[in-house]
Amino acid sequence: MTQEAFVPPFAVIPGAQVHRVLAGHEMRTIDLVEAAYRVHGEGDTVNPPSYFLRFPDRPSARIIALPASLGGGTRVDGLKWISSFPRNVAAGIPRASAVLVLNDHETGYPIACLESSIISSARTAASAALAADWLSRGRERPKRVGFLGTGLISRHIHGYLAGAGWLFDEVGVHDLSAEHAAGFCSYLDEAGRGGRVTVHDRAEDLIRASDLVIFATVAATPHVGEPAWFAHNPVVLNISLRDLAPEVLLASANVVDDVEHCLKADTSPHLTEQRTGGRDFIDGTLYEVMTGKVRIPADRPVVFSPFGLGVLDLAVGKYVYDEVRERGELNVVDGFFHDVDRYGRADATHRRS
């Protein structure tokens, strides 16, 4: 032995393996996300601001870096690198693509690169389902759900709600593209989760007809600004973050995943802060709701605005890594780290099992 710490092996985990671990296990993923929220709320994480790479020649596109460190019983560091190229949709491929790099907590060496569009969608959907549950407590459980935006995120959220046992009498659908709305309806029909499906031509009609409203669009600026549309006090999952004008938030109870993260980058909460000059409109975080510190009124709409925390990706990604490793299916890249001996000794042993 020439070293006290050994270099861990580096593995690549493709999307097919990620899918096999997560598919059909929605409640397990929701539990992972809830645990990560609790660890974050207790202060045992490092979750710095996300970093946005933007392009003057492609103003609608961006690539975002989400570095993070998760403590608790997981203890892993890492980085999600996720792109959003809306023009992809016209070519028939998903808007977003992503990878997740996990770093060994002891040595800092990268231990895996995982395909992460599935992980990102799963943690987003799990967060949405978790919030829908907690924010519905103390009021009648929603029986009518409406989806504004019919892409991959909406599909995952619907699947996670179903996996968590939600049953809806009615499912509303609204999308600017009739083709995309029809495709989502086909998915709903194949999923066979029940509930009458209605395609709404106007966002107003969908919102008024829904007790649980899910925004999952690519809107860059607010396009929904009438508080009267929400007079029936629905639970609103503001997943895409930029659909709602400040007037709607000011008439609602507001819950975020993390105050500092959410109030930036011209999100609806950020615009509301700019409008009012303060943050008094924020009632609290989802962690504070889960721990009983914040109680949500039943006589107002409640809006959940999650900016998306890198620690959630780490929680789900590390679980996937551990599962693949336990199954003996890690695709290890031999010799990925080549010059690892401090003194250049070619015969030194460096790999940790």
CATH number assigned to the domain comprising residue 50: 3.30.1780.10
pLDDT of residue 193: 75
Q: Per-residue pLDDT tens for 160-186?
A: 999 999 999 999 999 999 999 999 999
Give the integer Cα–Cα distance in Å for 314 and 35: 12
- Is 340 contained in some domain? no
> Same domain, yes or no, for 300 and 197?
yes
Mean pLDDT of the chain: 93
Q: Is residue 5 domain-resident?
A: no
Phi, psi of 75 (to 5 degrees): 50, 80
300 and 243 part of one domain: yes
pLDDT range class, residue 352, cuts 50, 70, 90: low
C-alpha span between 274 and 324 (Å, rounded): 46
List pLDDT tens digits, range 37-56: 999 999 999 999 999 999 99
pLDDT, position 218: 86
Q: What local confidence, expressed as pLDDT, does residue 344 receive?
A: 65
Q: pLDDT-derived band of residue 22, with 50, 70 and 90 as boundaries?
A: very high
In a domain, 227, yes or no: yes
Does the structure show a pLDDT above 50 at 252?
yes
pLDDT in tens, 104-162: 999 999 999 999 999 999 999 999 999 999 999 989 999 999 999 998 899 999 999 99
Q: Global pTM?
A: 0.92
Residue-level pLDDT at 119: 97
Q: 114: domain range?
A: 11-119+310-332
Beta bridge partners of 172: 146, 198
Together in a domain, 294 and 328: no
Whether 352 is covered by a domain: the verdict is no
Q: Is residue 255 part of a domain?
A: yes
- SS3 for the chain is CCCCCCECCCEEECHHHHHHHHCCCHHHHHHHHHHHHHHHHCCCEECCCCEEEECCCCCCCEEEEEEEEECCCCCEEEEEEEEECHHHHHHCCCCEEEEEEEECCCCCCEEEEEECHHHHHHHHHHHHHHHHHHHHCCCCCCCEEEEECCCHHHHHHHHHHHHCCCCCCEEEEECCCHHHHHHHHHHHHHHCCCCEEEECCCHHHHHHCCCEEEECCCCCCCCECCHHHHCCCCEEEECCCCCECHHHHHCCEEEECCHHHHCCCCCHHHHHHHHHCCCCCCCEEHHHHHCCCCCCCCCCCEEEECCCCHHHHHHHHHHHHHHHHHCCCCEECCCCCCCCCCCCCCCCCCECC
Q: In this structure, are 20 and 143 located in the same domain?
A: no
Band of residue 3 on the pLDDT scale cut at 50, 70, 90: very low
**Residue 42: predicted pLDDT:** 97
Token representation of residue 70: 């998760």
Same domain, 201 and 318: no
Tell me: do 72 and 168 sit in the same domain. Answer: no
Q: How confident is the model at residue 245 (pLDDT cuts 50, 70, 90)?
A: very high
Does residue 227 sit in the same domain as residue 262? yes
Average pLDDT over residues 259-288: 97
For residues 180-194, give the mean pLDDT.
Answer: 90
Whether residues 137 and 109 fall in one domain = no
Q: How far apart are CA 225 and CA 271, in angstroms?
A: 12
Residue 2 forms part of a structural domain: no
- Is 281 or 151 the better-scoring residue by pLDDT? 281
Query: Is 233 exposed, middle or buried (CB count within 10 Å of its CB: 0-12, 13-18, 19+)?
Result: middle
* Res 194: pLDDT: 74
> Is it the case that residue 4 has pLDDT exceeding 50?
no
Give the mean model confidence (pLDDT) for residues 250-268.
Answer: 96
CB atoms within 10 A of CB 58: 11
In angstroms, the CA 352 to CA 137 distance is 47
Contact (Cβ atoms closer than 8 angstroms) between residue 154 and residue 147: yes
For residues 296 and 320, membership in a common domain is answered with no
Q: How confident is the model at residue 348 (pLDDT cuts 50, 70, 90)?
A: low
In a domain, 341, yes or no: no
Phi, psi of 79 (to 5 degrees): -150, 130
The per-residue pLDDT for 89 is 84
Average pLDDT over residues 60-73: 95
Q: Backbone phi, then psi, for 243, in 5-degree steps? A: -80, -30
State the pLDDT confidence band at 330, using cuts at 50, 70 and 90: very high
Q: Are residues 160 and 283 in the same domain?
A: yes
Q: Do both 246 and 156 map to the same domain?
A: yes
pLDDT at 1 > cutoff 70:
no
pLDDT at 272 (0 to 100): 98
Query: For helices 178-191 and 152-163, what crossing angle results, to 10°?
Result: 20
Q: What span, in angstroms and rounded, lies between the C-alpha atoms of 70 and 112? A: 16
Domain presence at residue 201:
yes
CATH of the domain at 200: 3.40.50.720
Are 325 and 286 members of one domain? Answer: no
Check residue 339 and give its pLDDT.
74
Could you give the number of structural domains in the chain?
Answer: 2
